């Protein structure tokens, strides 16, 4: 019963996101994105530390948050506190779709000593109702490009609500675990676990985590990421 309630809550969250998108929240974000997307996220190249690249959309970029409140920054601090010698790079772009990610992944993978890619894309494909097969192809190519360079991948999944139609919902929801299984990469089923639908943990749009929510989101990622690390 608890699992059913939890699943219903998650799906309700995604439905809420689509409603906000239709009401113009995404439009406001897109206007901000124009400023955020160019120049592309600056990736430091001076450090010799092994690199973890957080690659995704507004959830990764830290939309509506200060830099020190974004999950990549918080992840960096957590790794340092636990004695891990990694440099975390924020390569998130608000509004990014899986196609947008594919178009810039080669540039990101050029970084020296990159060891782990945290791949968080697909939510904007859902909001725009883009074909799941194309999203899956884009994510598949990103994963293959990373693995070709011996870079480990942590794939973050998402769920589709019933309002998208049973066929789309099933195809979209299954895309992420299927990709993780096919390419044998680590998998986080839902990035916003214990954050979605909680007003105290989200910004006014009801979609993006606030500073407190970002802390929990970081913990969600870290639980899956930790076994991938080396001291």
183-223: pLDDT as tens digits: 999 999 999 999 988 999 999 998 899 999 999 999 999 99
Q: Is residue 57 annotated as part of the catalytic site, yes or no?
A: no
Label residue 15 by pLDDT band (50, 70, 90): low
> Is the pLDDT score of 26 beyond 50?
no
For residues 58 and 95, the answer to whether their CB atoms sit within 8 Å is: yes
Q: For the chain, which domains are there?
A: 2-228 (3.40.50.1110)
Catalytic residue among 21, 70, 94, 208: 208
Q: What is the DSSP letter of 38?
A: S
Catalytic residue among 12, 15, 32, 205: 205
> Is the pLDDT score of 88 beyond 80?
yes
> Is the pLDDT score of 37 beyond 70?
no
Q: Is residue 58 annotated as part of the catalytic site, yes or no?
A: yes
> Is the pLDDT score of 7 beyond 70?
no
Q: Is residue 208 annotated as part of the catalytic site, yes or no?
A: yes
Can you list the pairs that 15-19 forms with residues at least 24 positions away whose Cβ atoms lie under 8 Å?
A: 15/161, 15/162, 15/163, 16/197, 16/206, 16/207, 17/123, 17/127, 17/206, 17/207, 18/126, 18/127, 18/161, 18/163, 18/164
Q: What is the pLDDT of residue 41?
A: 52
Label residue 5 by pLDDT band (50, 70, 90): very low
φ, ψ of residue 118 to 5 degrees: the values are -95, 105
> Is the pLDDT score of 21 beyond 80?
no
Label residue 43 by pLDDT band (50, 70, 90): low
> Model pTM?
0.84
In the block, tokens 């699943």 appear at 7
The overall average pLDDT reported for the chain is: 85
Catalytic residue among 21, 26, 58, 70: 58
Distances in Å between the Cα of 177 and the Cα atoms of 65, 125, 146, 169, 181 are 29, 17, 18, 14, 6
Is pLDDT larger for residue 193 or for residue 47? 193
């Amino acid at each position: 019963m608890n699992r059913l309630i939890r699943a219903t809550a998650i799906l309700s969250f995604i439905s809420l996101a689509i409603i906000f998108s239709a009401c113009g929240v995404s439009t406001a974000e897109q206007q901000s994105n124009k400023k955020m997307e160019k120049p592309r996220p600056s990736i430091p190249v001076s450090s010799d530390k092994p690199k973890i690249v957080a690659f995704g959309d507004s959830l990764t970029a830290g939309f509506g948050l200060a830099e020190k409140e974004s999950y990549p920054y918080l992840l960096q601090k957590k790794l340092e506190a636990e004695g891990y010698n990694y440099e975390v790079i924020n390569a998130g772009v608000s509004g990014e779709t899986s196609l947008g990610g594919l178009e810039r992944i080669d540039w990101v993978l050029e970084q020296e000593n990159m060891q782990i890619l945290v791949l968080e894309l697909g939510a904007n494909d859902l909001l725009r109702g883009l074909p799941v097969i194309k999203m899956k192809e884009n994510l598949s190519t990103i994963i293959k490009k990373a693995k070709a360079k011996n870079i480990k991948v942590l794939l973050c999944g998402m769920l589709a609500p019933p309002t998208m139609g049973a066929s789309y919902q099933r195809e979209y929801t299954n895309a992420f675990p299927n990709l993780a299984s096919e390419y044998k990469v680590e998998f986080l089923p839902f990035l916003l676990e214990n954050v979605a639908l909680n007003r105290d943990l989200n910004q006014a749009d009801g979609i993006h985590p606030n500073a407190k929510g970002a802390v929990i989101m970081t913990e969600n990622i870290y639980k899956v990421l930790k076994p991938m690390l080396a001291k």
